[in-house]
Structure formats: C-alpha cells, structure tokens
Amino acid sequence: AILHTLDSEFRSNSVVGRNRSQTFKWFTASLLLYLGDRLWATVSAHRDVMVKSMSFDKDKTVVYLRLQKPNGFTFRPGQHAFLQIPDIDWSWHPFSICSEPANDELHFLIEVKQPGSWTHQLAERSRFALGMKATVMGGFGSGVSDLRAPTEVLAIGTGTGIVPMISLMLERKRRLLMLNKDVWMSANETSFRHSLEGLEMKYPELRYLQMKWRLRQVTRMGRHCAYLKHIRRKAQNQLFHMIVDVFVALLLLAELWLCATLMSWSSWLDGTPADSVHGNILRYMMAVNSSLYTLIFLYRFCLPHRFPRGITTVIDFFAIGAMALVIAGWWPQGFTFDRELLGVQVARFFLSLWRVVSLWSGTPPMRHAATSQGSLGRSLLGENTFRFMWVCRSADLLLGVMPEFEAALQELQKVLRTSDSGLRRFLGLEIYCTDKSVTRVASLRHSLMGTKMENHVHFRRPDLQDAINQVMRAQLADGLNGGPSLYHGANSLVTFCGSPEVGQICKGCVEEANLMADTLAFFNHKLVFREEFYGHVGGESGRVWKEDASLATPQDEILSI
C-alpha cells in the first residue's frame, strides 16, 4: 500500500492520485515499530548455543538444562531468558535463569507439563541433548536483580519458582567468597550503608586484596605461566580500548565542526549558493564521518559488557540507514546548498547532531558517571542479611537440587571459617518439604543424614507471616535502640516467585508489617515487595483475592503449595 500510494500521480494531485487509498498513513508508524522489534530480536538473539547436558529428577517432572553461555550474553540475578529449540519448533518460551551471571554456563530448571507440550517434547529429546542446539535471548525482566540497595533480603519461592532465587543465592555466595571475612564483618558492624567510595577509603583490603592474590599466583606459577599470559592479553585489550576512546574523541571534535558548519550555512538566511570547494568538503566530511561512526557502532555492538545494548542501539541502526540514504540519494545533486535543497541540509544537520550525542554518551566520562550514579548510596558488600526460603511439595525435586546447595554451604563455611550457626548470618537457608508421599520423604531424610543440609530442611509448612514480620522487627529493634536506622531509615526487600495465591499472602503480610512500622512512627522503615510470575503454578485455580480478607497467614492458606 505504501508503494502504491507514494507515486507521482498522488504527489502531482491528479484525479487518479486523489482517489487512491491513503491507508498507509495509519499503519506506517506501528509497522515500523513492529519491524524494528523483529529486527532487534533477530540481531540480539544468540544462535547455535550448545546444550551441555539435560537431566531429570526421579519422577521426571523437572528438567535441569545446562547450556554453554554465549559470548556477549548478559543478565542480572533474577532475570529470565527466552529459549528456542529448532529441533522442536521455532516458538519462544521464557524461563528463569538458575545460574549466576559470573558462571560460564546457563542453567534452567524447567517443569515438564502434560504430554504434547513444548516442555514434554524437550524432555523426550534428552537422549540427544549433546547434539542439540538452542537459540537464547535475554536477559529480560527487572525482578530482584540488585541486591545492593536493600538492608535485608528475604527471598521466598514455591516449586520451580525457586529458580530466580537460586540465582540470587549464588550471586550472594560469589560476593561472599570474593571478600575477606573480617572486612565483611567490620563493614556490617561499624557503619550503615557506606557508599562505594567510602568503603574503598576505609577498607583498603577491597582494592588491595585482589592484587595481592594475583601477585601470589604469579610468584607461585612463574612469569611465563598461562595466568600471566592471560593478564597480558587483558592489558593489550585495555590498551586497544583506550586507543579507540582517543579516536572517538577526535571523531567527536570533527562531528562538532561539521554540525556547527551545517547549522551556520548561509542558505538558512538568504539562499546564497555555497562555493563548490566548500560543498565538496562538507559532502566528503559527512561521508567519512558516517563511515567511521558505523565502525564505532559495530565496535560497541560487539562489546555488550562495555556498552550495554538498549533502545538506542535500535535507533542507531536506523540512523545509520538514514545516513546511507542521505549520502547515496543526494550525492549527484551538485555542490550547492540552496533553498531547493534545504531539506537535505536539515537532514544532514540532525544526523550529525545524533552522531555527536551518541558518540558523547559512550565516552569514558559519561560511562563512569552512569556507573557512579547507579551505585550511589549502595553498599559494595551488599545486604547485611540474605534469607532464602523454599517451599516445595516434591521431595524428588529437592533431592535433585540438594547437591548444589550442599556444595555452596561447604565452600562458604570453608572460606569464611565459621560454624553452621555463624553461616546463617551471611546466608540463611530454609527449605520446607510438604510432600505427602511417605516413601519419598523417607528417601529424602536418608539422603540428608550427615550433610550440612540436614539442619536446613524442614518437613512442615512455613509460617510466612512470622518470617516477614521478623524482617520488620529487626529494623524496628535497631531503630528503637538508637541504631543507625533511627537516622538513616531501613529498606528491606521481600521477593517472591511461584504460586500467585501464596504471592498474595506474602504481599498482604508485607503491607501489615509496613502498617506496624507506621503505627510506631517509623515512617522511614519499609518493606518492599517484588514478585515474579510467569503463569499458574499450583494452588486453587481461579481463586480470587478478597480485599477484606485477613492479612494473617493461617496454615491452611498454604495447603496448595
């Protein structure tokens, strides 16, 4: 329809042109948005990702999928990704990521649905997992991706809704292992919510610890070891990035000159023709700048860790196409800028202005400003307390995940050199099994005997209201005793993923806890509730939450878990 209407007949206002359809005026904008979204999805997807393994729990209701993490794939704890398995079909399916961002693999814990479903077809192909390839897009969703802002985090999950919480827990473990126990304890006890700069000045270990470890590694393995070669490669890469930053600064100066020249050209006032030499300079200057800008765009696109992709990347892509059209379409039209070509000059000016803005936004000062703004007032060490609660009605699923939890606890206890009770201060782990099968529960109890997880697994239903109120009571106790929260306030996070019915219960308990703080005039003590939900996960189907329902949590409210 666009090609049919944009013709000489319509532009000349002839009888034939006036009678032709003008429908394109109504759907062109939405069509461009749709095509841009599809183009972005195609460009940002990571294809031919190898499947490393696929395993099941005992009753084959959950698939544990491990993929090789593709280069350039970034996500934050608690986010999800879209998976596509070409061997099954070309549809996309969202699943929460189970692994932490620093891992070289992507882990997914996927619940197997009824026969004929996509997840069931995935489970049937487990024998051919090693030769299978997947396409991945992500990470998506905000979830609970930043653990540095709140004072305390209570992560609650039911069933397979535990997946984003496992990612959060592993990220917490990673940060604990990176730091010295004394630094962590001192930072949490002596000050409240230091900024990043303050902690680095007060605790030199945070800057010194990693360098000391590297020097020890080099001394132990020698100057020609693989580790030192890796460090040299990183230094060379950093030097290359610095050279590119200098080149971008020079290109930015050239763009500023071009933008000012286009803006101040005499044709804006009286249409005075430009000299052919000046016209040639401007045209060649724009062609060279546009070509170099395209190279910079490709450089930034290939480094998502250094230059995160977003909506501006899509705008950049269309802007480069517009630059090519302006250069190629109007190149043979002579050397002058008169009033007949005023539209060309305006297009060149705004495209040059866009290049200036885009180049400036990627310079080191702007990147550092964005980083410092994002971490302002947040603790480098993270939340003081992380409490992890999982309610699961499948003992077999617990058996499948227990080895990873056991390994995490052993590694933390070894590095932090603390007892089981002392470890709870850094990472509180509570698992509640509500399986009704006596045989499966007995098997789980036998597997837990003698392990560190034995004291963390409970065979009963949790009291969610008491768990959430404990978070608020800890804040209020600190404020009533004249602690730092009395002056600075306290902001804790309660995050949930799983059954929507249980999520409504948790939300009501958070509102009740905030009401308790307001009643005591501690208005700067708050609990924030965040929920991730991708569909119905058990519980009473069709249940509606009533506004006048009690905010308490009776035990029969969680029978559906």
Identify the pLDDT of residue 368.
55
Identify the pLDDT of residue 556.
37
Identify the pLDDT of residue 129.
76
Q: Is the pLDDT of residue 202 over 80?
A: no
Identify the pLDDT of residue 541.
35
Domains of the chain, residue spans = 2-41, 46-140, 152-193+379-558, 233-371
Identify the pLDDT of residue 411.
81
Model confidence pLDDT, tens digit, residues 506-538: 999 999 998 888 887 787 888 888 887 554 444
Q: Is the pLDDT of residue 294 over 70?
A: yes
Identify the pLDDT of residue 115.
85
Model confidence pLDDT, tens digit, residues 102-142: 888 898 888 888 888 888 888 888 777 777 889 998 778 76
Model confidence pLDDT, tens digit, residues 380-403: 445 567 888 999 888 888 888 888
Q: Is the pLDDT of residue 46 over 70?
A: yes
Model confidence pLDDT, tens digit, residues 502-511: 888 999 999 9
Query: If pLDDT is split at 50, 70 and 90, which confidence band does 191 have?
Result: very low
Q: Which residue has the higher pLDDT, 273 or 260?
A: 260
Pairing mode of beta strands 490-497, 152-158? parallel
Pairing mode of beta strands 93-96, 80-84? antiparallel
Identify the pLDDT of residue 209.
59
Model confidence pLDDT, tens digit, residues 62-89: 888 889 888 888 888 878 889 988 888 8
Give just the sign of the alpha carbon dihedral 22, 23, 26, 31. negative
Identify the pLDDT of residue 9.
60
Mean pLDDT across 293-311: 83
Q: Which residue has the higher pLDDT, 102 or 365?
A: 102
Identify the pLDDT of residue 20.
57
- Average pLDDT of the chain is 74
Is the separation of the CB atoms in 494 and 530 below 8 Å? yes
Q: Which residue has the higher pLDDT, 330 or 37?
A: 37
Q: Is the pLDDT of residue 500 over 80?
A: yes
Mean pLDDT across 226-245: 80
Mean pLDDT across 457-468: 90
Identify the pLDDT of residue 510.
92
Identify the pLDDT of residue 372.
42
Is the separation of the CB atoms in 275 and 261 below 8 Å? no
| Cα→Cα distances 361→308, 315, 352, Å | 12, 14, 14
Nearest to 471 by CA among 520, 428, 527: 527
Strand order in the sheet with 133-140: 93-96, 80-84, 133-140, 46-56, 62-68, 105-111
Is the separation of the CB atoms in 226 and 409 below 8 Å? no
In terms of phi and psi (left: phi > 0; alpha: psi -120 to 50; beta: otherwise), the region of 463 is beta
pTM: 0.58
Classify domain 46-140 at the CATH topology level.
Elongation Factor Tu (Ef-tu); domain 3 (2.40.30)
Q: Is the pLDDT of residue 373 over 70?
A: no
Q: Which of 147-151, 181-185, 188-192, 195-199 has the highest mean pLDDT?
A: 147-151
Q: Where are the beta strands (DSSP E) in 121-269?
A: 133-140, 152-158
Mean pLDDT across 420-428: 75
Q: Is the peptide bond before 139 cis (omega within 30 degrees of 0)?
A: yes
How far apart are alpha carbons 403 and 411 in whole angstroms? 12
Query: If pLDDT is split at 50, 70 and 90, which confidence band does 144 have?
Result: low
HSE (side-chain half, CA atoms, 13 Å) at 380 = 21
Identify the pLDDT of residue 375.
37
Model confidence pLDDT, tens digit, residues 317-353: 888 888 887 777 666 554 444 444 566 677 778 888 8
Identify the pLDDT of residue 517.
85
How far apart are alpha carbons 550 and 508 in whole angstroms? 8
For domain 152-193+379-558, the CATH architecture is: 3-Layer(aba) Sandwich (3.40)
Under DSSP, is residue 160 helix (H, G, I), strand (E, B) or coil? helix
Identify the pLDDT of residue 272.
54
Mean pLDDT across 8-15: 61
| Cα→Cα distances 161→255, 394, 406, 435, Å | 51, 13, 20, 16
Lowest mean pLDDT among 155-169, 239-253, 257-271: 257-271
Query: If pLDDT is split at 50, 70 and 90, which confidence band does 540 have?
Result: very low
Nearest to 399 by CA among 331, 361, 451, 356: 451
Under DSSP, is residue 180 helix (H, G, I), strand (E, B) or coil? coil
Identify the pLDDT of residue 157.
87
Type of residue numbered 94: P
Q: Which of 120-124, 233-237, 421-425 has the highest mean pLDDT?
A: 120-124
